[in-house]
Amino acid sequence: MRIRNEIVGDIIASLKPTEAIKPDNVFLSNISKCSAAIKSVMGSFMGTDVVNIAMAFADRIEILEWKDGNLVIVRTHIIFDRIASMNTIKRGQKESDLIFFITETMNYTIFGYDSNGGLNIVKTNNVEKFYTRIRTGGIQSNVCRKSGRIAIIGFDSALYLVDYKERTEKSEAEFVYPPTDVKDFQFVDLDGQKDSRVVFLKETEGNTSLVLYEFDWYRMCLKQVQVVGDIGLNVYTIYVPPERVGNLLCVVTADDGLYYVSHEMVVTKNDIPRIGDGIVKAVSPVSKSGDLFFFIDGKGNVFSSKVESDKIETSFLGRSGIARDIFYLGNGIFFVTSFTTNHILMCFDQIEQSAVNGMKILKQMENSGPISSIEIAHRFNQKIIVAACGMDHDGSLRIYSFASSIKRLWSFSQKGLIRSFVIYVDGGLRIVTTGINETKMYEMKISKMGQEYIAVGGCEPVTLPHLDSKQTTYFAGLCGSFFVQICKNGIKSWHKSDPSTYFANEEYKFEVNPVVCQTSESILVVGREKCLLFYKSSEAEFGFVSTHELENQILSIDTIDVADEGFLLVTFYNSVGLYKYKHAMDEVTVEPHATINNSGVYDIFASSKFMNFGKKPNIVVAHAFGKVSVYSFDNCIQMCELLYSEKVADCDVQLINWRKDEDGCGNILASSTSWILKKVGNEFTKSNINLDKFLEAYPIDDSDLGHWIVRTTVEGISIGELQDREQLNILTMELHEDTNKVIYDKKFDSIVVTSHKQMQPEKLKVGSGNRMFSTLTSMLPSNKNREKLAVVANKSDNKGDDYCQLLDSDVAVKKIQENVLDVGECNISHITLISLRLMKPLYTYALEEREFALCMARMIHPVHKYPLIVIGTVIESADDPSVGAESALGRILCFRICDNSESNLQLVAQKCTKSSVCDIGCMENGDIVAACQNVLRVFVLDRDNIINQKAATNCFLTATAIKIQKDLIFVGDDIRSITVLRLNGDKLELFMRNASPMGFTAISFLDKERYIHCLPDRQLHILRSFGAVSILDNTITFKTTSEIILEQQINCIVKGSIYKQTRFDNKHLFSPVILGSADGGLISMHLLSEEMFQFLSAIQKMIIEKMDMIQQPEAFVHNILKYHPANGTKISKYIHGRIFEHYLSMPESKRENMFIFQLIPPYPGGKAITSRAEIEEVISEWAEVN
C-alpha cells in the first residue's frame, strides 16, 4: 500500500478538474484546559530529593512538586496525541527518575530533567515501526524496577520490550505468548535472576488465571513457568510491593477480596465484603517495603491493607470519590487523581504499621468532568458560554465570559447534572439546569461598565410557578414572548412578563429525548421519534400548529434559510443520509425537498455482499442488528452513494447474491428475514417469501431465477425452487451435517458446502442409508439430463482411509457407517462430493487433523482455463503454552471437479500460510486474494499449479469479508470499516476507505455547504457539498473533505464563538464552532482562508522546530499535518493556537533567531514581515482567538 502524505492526495487528484475539493484549513484553540486525569505517576523527576507527580491530561502533561504542604505546578508540556499509558523509571539514589509514556499512535518517549531543571529527552521512537501488531486502545505498560526495561503489550497478546540504556539494536525486543485477554501484568523479582519474570492476569473462556513467565531470549518468547487457574471472574489488578515482603509474590485484587500469592504460586483468598464494582486500579504502597498499602475500589471506597505471613488484613477507611490513581506523599497525606470527579488531597491522623485512623479531605483540585452540553449567548460585545459538565456523576456548571479576556464568572455543582440552557431576558441571563427528575433556574444580571457589558455578581435561584422542577427538562428556551419547557409530560409555556398567561400541551408525551430547533424567533420545531411537531408563538399565545410524519426516528434537526426560503436538514438514527425538507416562513408547511447522501459514514458491518444494478457496481451491506443498505460505487469519482437503507430485523441477516430475474430486475434474498429485495428502475421493493426465519438460504444458480439450496442449523440440507418470485417449495435431504458455506460452480452445475460438526457414533447408528441420503426425485433440476453435484466439507468420527475411497452404491454407504462405528469420537474435517441426482456421496477428501475450512471461492485457472474451487482453512495448534499466537497455520487449497472415475474431486494446488485464512476471493485474471489475520495477501497460480505470493499489505486488524469487483478489492474488517484496494503490478494500493463508527458523539452544521460530525475514536470530520455550488441543488452529495484526530473525544458542538474582534475578523476567519469534550475541555474551531493559513503555517512550523518537545519532533510535525497510521486515512492540516500560546510563554533566550523572515509569506492584505516584534504582535493576536 502506498503511503500518501498529501492532505487530499490521490482521491482528489483522480476527480475531474471541476469537481476537485480542497481540504478545509482549520484553526483550533483551547478555551479551557482539560481537567480529567488520564494517567498519573509519582517519582523524583526534578531532583533526587523532591517528590513529583506527573499528570497526563488529554492536551498536556503537568509536573507537580510537593513542598510546604502544597502541590505546585512546576512544568507544563503540551502534547498533540492522546497518552495511552505512563510509568516511572527509577534510576537509583544519585539520579533523578525518568518518565515513560506511549501514545495511542504508538509514539513513545522517555524523558526527564537535568540538574538545572532543563528537559532531557532520553529516548523516543515509534513502536509501530518494529511491532506492527500492537493496536490502539488496548495498550498497557510496566517498568521493571530491577533492570529499568519497559514492557508494552497490545491487543494481539504479545509483549514488546524497550531498554532505554541500550544503544544497539538489542534495545528493541519482541516476545510472544499464547493469545488471551490480559487484564493486568507486572514484573516480579525471583531469586536474584538477571531478568525479572513477569506475572500475567489472563482471562480465557470466562476463567481468570495467574500465569508466571520468564524471558526466553533464545527463542524470543515467554516461557511459562507456572500457572494458577480459575481464581475468579471479577479479578482486575496485580499489586507487587517495591521490596520483597516475606514469601509474598504479589497481591491480586478482586470484587470480593484480595488474593495472597506466594512465591510458590499458592493462592490464599482474603474476603473483603465491601469492595464495590470489583475494579481496583488505584493502589499505593505506604511503607517503604510495601507491606502496608492503600487502594480505592470502583465506588471510591478507601481501604488499607497489611501483609502478615500468608494473609492480608484489610480495613475500610472512608470514601474519597472515584479514583484513577492514588499516591502517598508522606506524613499521612495522599493525593488522589480522578477522571470524573475532583482530584483531592486527603490525610489520616495516624498511620502506623498496625493502625490507620481519621480520614480527612485537605484540599480539592477542580475536575469539571466530561462536558455533556454547551450553550453560547451573545449580547452586545458580551459573549458567554455555559458548559454543563459531569453527566451521571457530581455535575458542575461553568459559565465563561469574554470581553477583553476570558474569565470564569460562576460555577456550581448539581448532582447528576445533564445539561443546561441559557436564555436572555431583560438584559440578564436565565440559566436552566437539569438532571434526573430535577430542574432548576438561575438568573445572572448583566450591567454596562465603560464600553463593556459585564456580569454583576453570581447567579441567584429563581422560582417560577409553572416551571416543572421535578422533571428532566429536554429543552428550555424563549420562543417569541414565551418561555418554553419541554419535559416527559409534554410542552409548557408561559409569557415572559406575565406568568399567568400559561399554556400546556400534553397531547404529545416524550418518552425519549426530543430534538428541538427554532426556525425563527416565533416557530419551534420538535422532533418526537418519527414526527416533526410545529409550535408557533404570537404576542398573546403559544400553541401547536401541525405535525409531519417522517419515515425514521429523528437524530438531529438544523435549519438553513436561503433566498427567503427555509429548509430543515434532518438526520436519522441508523441512517447515513442527510434529509432536506422545505418549509415556508409565514405558515408552517413541510414538503420533502431532497435527499443529501453522505458517502463518508457507515453503520456497523456484520457482513458484506456486492452486486450489480445497472452499469455501476453496487455494494449491499448487511449491518449489525438487522439493517440492510445498498450503495452505488462510482469508479470514476471514487465515491459511494446510498441507494436504499432499511432496518428489516432485530437480528443479523445474511444476504444472498441473486443477480436478475426473468424481467431483468436485480434481486437480493435476505436469508434470516425471509424476504427478497428487488430493484425496478430506480425503486427498491421488498417481498416476503415463505421461508422460516431461522433458515439460511443460498442460491444454486446465481444467474437465473430458479433453484436454491437452503441450509438449516440442525442436521440437514433443504433444496427449494422459487416460484412466482414469492413462493419457495422446500424438500429436505438430511445429511447429519451442520453446513455453513455454499458456492456454485456453473460448468459442472455443482455446489460446494462447508460445515463443521463433530458427530457421535450413536447418532450415525440410528441413521440408515436412506435416512442419510434420501432420494428426492421430485426435486430434480429443470434440466434433468445434467447431474447435480455438491461438495460438502464436514467433520466425522472416521480416521480410516476407507472413508476416502470412491463411493458408488448403497454398499459403500454402509461401509462408511461401519468404519465410523469402529472408531471413537474424533475431530477430522473432510470435503465430500455428493450427487444431488443420486443423493449419494461420490468422493471425499480428508483435511489434516485440526484443520477446518473457513471460506470458499470459485475461479478459472489462469492458464488451463478449467474451473477451480478455492478453499481457505485454519490449522489449530496443539495446546502448547510456549507456542505463540502466530504459529496457528492455514492452507489455500485449489480443487478441480472432474469426470475421473477414480477421483471426482482432485486437489491440483495448495499453499501453506503463516496464519488462518479468514476469507478468500478470486480476481478475473486468476489471482487469489486471501485475508490472513491482519495481512491481506495476493497469490498467483502458475502453469505448473504452484501458488506464489504476489503482493501483501497489513493495513487491517482482521479482514473478515472480501469481494472482488473487476480490478478492485473490497475488504470489510473487524474494526467495522470497509476498504477498497487496487492491485497495481505487485503492489496493493489503497483506493478508498470508509470508517464505520458505532455512532456519532456530536453533529452540527457549519454553514450552507458544510457540516461536521465527531466519532468515538476522537475523529472530527468536515463534510462539504459535492457536485453543486449550493446545498439547495437536489443533485448534490456530501463528501468528507477534512478529518482531524483530536486529543479529546467531542461530546457536544455549538455554533458561534467568543473570539476578540481584531483586524483579521470576518475576512480570514469564518464558520466558528465550540466543542465540548469528554475530558472536560472546551475547544474553539474556525475555518481559515487559504492566504492566512499559508502565513500562519510558516510561523507555526518554525516555532515547532525550536520548541522543547517531549514528543519526537518528526512525529509531532507528522501529527500536526495529520496522517493517521492506525487506519490509513488522510487527515486535514490545521493551525493550533496552543503553539502560539506556548511561544509567548518561552523565555527571551529561546525566541532569538527562531524565525527566517524570507520564508514567511507577506501578511494577507498587508506588507512583508521584517522583524520579530511584528511577528509577535501577530502571534499574540492569534493566541487570543477563541
Residue 175 pLDDT > 90, yes or no?
no
- At position 1084, the amino acid (one-letter code) is S
Residue 88 pLDDT > 90, yes or no?
yes
- For residue 700, give the DSSP letter: S
| Tens digits of residue pLDDT in 439-473 | 888 887 777 666 555 666 667 888 888 888 888 88
pLDDT at position 190, please? 64
pLDDT at position 86, please? 92
1032 CA to centre of own chain: 33
Point out the least confidently predicted range of 369-373, 374-378, 714-718: 714-718
pLDDT at position 33, please? 81
Q: What is the mean pLDDT of residues 958-972?
A: 70
Point out the least confidently predicted range of 13-17, 255-259, 459-463, 547-551: 13-17
- pLDDT band per the 50, 70, 90 thresholds, residue 104: confident
Q: What is the mean pLDDT of residues 954-968?
A: 67
pLDDT at position 889, please? 82
Task: Return d(Cα 890, Cα 851) in angstroms, integer.
Answer: 8
Q: What is the CATH number of the domain that holds 1155?
A: 1.10.150
593 or 190: which leads in pLDDT = 190
Task: Return d(Cα 872, Cα 284) in angstroms, integer.
Answer: 51
Range from 162-171, 524-533, 953-962, 1065-1074 that averages highest in pLDDT: 524-533
| Tens digits of residue pLDDT in 323-341 | 888 988 888 888 888 877 7
Report yes or no on 1000 lying in a domain: no
CB atoms within 10 A of CB 804: 15
Task: Give the total residue count for the chain.
Answer: 1186
Report yes or no on 657 lying in a domain: no
Residue 1022 pLDDT > 80, yes or no?
yes
Task: Return d(Cα 43, Cα 94) in angstroms, integer.
Answer: 13
Using CA atoms, how far residue 340 sits from 86, 389, 1076, 1162, in Å, is: 19, 10, 15, 46
In terms of C-beta density within 10 A (0-12 exposed, 13-18 middle, 19 or more buried), how is residue 560 classed? middle
pLDDT at position 932, please? 83
211 CA to centre of own chain: 30
| Tens digits of residue pLDDT in 609-650 | 333 444 454 556 555 445 666 655 444 333 445 666 666 655
Provide the whole-model pTM.
0.57
Task: Return d(Cα 768, Cα 817) in angstroms, integer.
Answer: 9
Report yes or no on 293 lying in a domain: no
Percentage of residues in the chain having pLDDT higher than 90? 5
Task: Return d(Cα 185, Cα 222) in angstroms, integer.
Answer: 13
Helical spans, DSSP H, in 781-867: 810-821
Task: Return d(Cα 1013, Cα 491) in angstroms, integer.
Answer: 29
Q: What is the mean pLDDT of residues 145-158?
A: 75
Report yes or no on 1162 lying in a domain: yes
- pLDDT band per the 50, 70, 90 thresholds, residue 699: very low
Report yes or no on 310 lying in a domain: no
Range from 401-405, 425-429, 595-599, 909-913 that averages highest in pLDDT: 909-913
- pLDDT band per the 50, 70, 90 thresholds, residue 910: very high
Range of the domain at 1163: 1089-1183
660 or 827: which leads in pLDDT = 827
Task: Return d(Cα 1066, Cα 1061) in angstroms, integer.
Answer: 9
646 or 486: which leads in pLDDT = 486
Half-sphere exposure of 1047 (CA within 13 A, CB side): 32
Q: What is the mean pLDDT of residues 703-725?
A: 43
Q: What is the mean pLDDT of residues 668-674?
A: 50
- pLDDT band per the 50, 70, 90 thresholds, residue 848: confident
Residue 481 pLDDT > 70, yes or no?
yes
C-alpha cell at position 338: 480522578
C-alpha cell at position 369: 468532568
| Tens digits of residue pLDDT in 192-231 | 665 678 888 887 666 788 888 888 877 778 888 888 877 7
Helix pair angle (1172-1183, 1090-1106), 10° resolution: 110
Please answer whether residues 1101 and 1156 qualify as being in contact, where contact means their C-beta atoms are separated by less than 8 angstroms. Answer: no
Name every residue whose Cβ is closer than 8 Å to that of residue 370 and which is 6 or more positions away in sequence.
Answer: 36, 340, 389, 390, 391, 1051, 1077, 1078, 1079, 1080
pLDDT at position 41, please? 93
Percentage of residues in the chain having pLDDT higher than 70? 57
- Which region, left, alpha or beta, applies to residue 626 given φ > 0 means left and ψ of -120 to 50 means alpha? left
Task: Return d(Cα 795, Cα 603) in angstroms, integer.
Answer: 36
pLDDT at position 337, please? 86
Task: Return d(Cα 826, Cα 831) in angstroms, integer.
Answer: 16
Q: How many domains does the chain have?
A: 1
Residue 996 pLDDT > 70, yes or no?
no
Report yes or no on 594 lying in a domain: no
Q: What is the mean pLDDT of residues 720-734?
A: 46
Task: Return d(Cα 9, Cα 970) in angstroms, integer.
Answer: 20
Residue 801 pLDDT > 50, yes or no?
no
C-alpha cell at position 83: 497518552
Give the neighbor-by-neighbor strand order of the sheet with 1019-1026: 554-562, 565-572, 577-583, 590-598, 1037-1045, 1019-1026, 1010-1014, 1002-1005
Task: Return d(Cα 1045, Cα 30) in angstroms, integer.
Answer: 15
| Tens digits of residue pLDDT in 984-993 | 888 888 766 5
243 or 1008: which leads in pLDDT = 243
pLDDT at position 687, please? 60
Residues in a beta bridge with 613 = 616
pLDDT at position 323, please? 82
Instruction: Supply the mean pLDDT for the chain.
Output: 69
Antiparallel, parallel or unpaired: β 1050-1055 and 1069-1077: antiparallel
Residue 691 pLDDT > 80, yes or no?
no
Residues of 445-470 as b/e, b for ≥16 C-beta within 10 angstroms?
ebeeeeeebebeeebeeeeeeebbee
Residue 898 pLDDT > 90, yes or no?
no
Report yes or no on 1110 lying in a domain: yes
Antiparallel, parallel or unpaired: β 696-699 and 197-204: unpaired
Report yes or no on 83 lying in a domain: no
844 or 462: which leads in pLDDT = 462
